[in-house]
Chains A and B, each alone.
Chain A
Amino acid sequence: MTAIVANAPNFLINSDYPMDKVVFQLSGSRSMDGSTYFSIPHGLPFTPLVDIIWSYTPDFSISYSANAGPAPASVPGYVFDLQLTCDADANLLYFNALGPAAAKMVYYRVFGFQPDDSNASLPSTVSAADSFVINSTYNYAKLFTAGHVSYASGTNVNLVVPHNLGYIPQVQVWRKSSTRTGIIAVSGDDPSGLWQIEITPVSLVMTLSSLNNLSSGTLYYRIYLDK
């Protein structure tokens, strides 16, 4: 690894590597229970790579990532009392809540990145709510590589993306299946039937040994220099 790459994580910002640009933001609230499902237009000319944070309070003092929520659940058989996901297609964001929780106000925040296979022109997302676009108090994750890999239908998927950084970097992966793209927020072992999103010092390994015939799809990944 070159000296530039080896030392890049030591910088708050490094002009050799792109900084994350949040091209989409949405916040809202809605009363939700475990059967809530709704959609909202995102207005982008592509399917964004979105992530969601949600909370039962408007100040987000206790907050959860996609597919997670308060635990243990109030009813046996569930892990979380409520879990919320957000997927996207070319036009809409889809919100899906699952769990035994009774209806309660849920506050959510969704932000998104532009996938590597889009080069669209976009309006600014900087707002008065974010006092500083760049603040040297904080680190800014440096994008080492972003891309996508497709897989055919079948029962097993094993996709390897080399990075050769020599350490374990930050990684996020989204899965596009049919028309919808959602972040892979839950990973697991083979018997769980979940995607294994494994990161090693040299590669990103994305594996699924499907218990049922898997439809074709695409995995979008973002590998950062930062640990």
Chain B
Amino acid sequence: MATYPEQFIINSDFATLKNDSVAVTATVTVPASVVVGPNGSAEWHQDITAGSKGAALRCRIRSSKFGGRWLAAPQVSFTRNGSQGTYTLVAYVYLLSPGVIRCSVSVYSAYGVNMTTEAGTEVIDFSVSTFIPPFA
């Protein structure tokens, strides 16, 4: 039987997303002036208790070097300036194992020599909500 789902506030004919963790927070501090090897990367993370197998994520991420402004996505990318030029800082969220969400921050260098990252520490905050999608 077909129905018009969006004409209903709640409709038991359609699967739902079960929000099992709401706005669980994490903070990762990126040290200042980190030396990254040639074409290398460096990573920092904080794990939080949330998320079941195959969790769907709704995330907000902010950086102290981006005015503390919240960006709504499970992954954000910032351009930073290091000793060799610009480099990328990526913050993203994924399910590390059932019940554990990893909030990870990495910097990547495309330079074939050592690169020193920006001066000043950077604080990355995460706010993560997880959902059980309707799959077996």
- Taking Cβ atoms with an 8 Å cutoff, the residues of A that contact B are 13, 15-23, 25, 27, 51, 53, 55, 59-68, 71-72, 76-77, 79, 109, 111, 114, 116, 118-127, 129-130, 133-135, 137-141, 168, 170-173, 184-189, 191-192, 194, 196-200, 204, 224, 226-227
Known A125-B134, A185-B73, A196-B71: A19·B10 in contact at CB below 8 Å = yes
Contacting A at CB under 8 A, from B1-44, are 1-20, 22-23, 39-41, 43
Q: By DSSP majority rule, is chain A's interface helix, strand, loop, or mixed? A: loop
Q: Which residues of A contact B71 (CB under 8 A)?
A: 187-188, 196-199
Known A21-B11, A111-B133, A184-B73: A168·B22 in contact at CB below 8 Å = no
Contacting A at CB under 8 A, from B96-113, are 96-98, 104, 106, 108, 110
- Taking Cβ atoms with an 8 Å cutoff, the residues of B that contact A are 1-20, 22-23, 39-41, 43, 53-58, 60-61, 66, 69-79, 86, 88, 90, 92-98, 104, 106, 108, 110, 127, 129, 131-136
A77 x B110 contact (CB < 8 A): yes
A23 x B90 contact (CB < 8 A): no
Known A130-B15, A139-B19: A71·B106 in contact at CB below 8 Å = yes
A59 x B53 contact (CB < 8 A): yes
How far, in angstroms, from A25 to B66 measured CA to CA in the complex? Answer: 36
Q: Which residues of A contact B5 (CB under 8 A)?
A: 21, 23, 114, 122
- Residue of A at shortest CB range from B99? A61
A89 to chain B, nearest CB (A): 20
Set A63, A111, A185: member contacting B134, Cβ < 8 A: A111
A219 to chain B, nearest CB (A): 12
A200 x B70 contact (CB < 8 A): yes
Q: Which residues of A contact B23 (CB under 8 A)?
A: 226-227
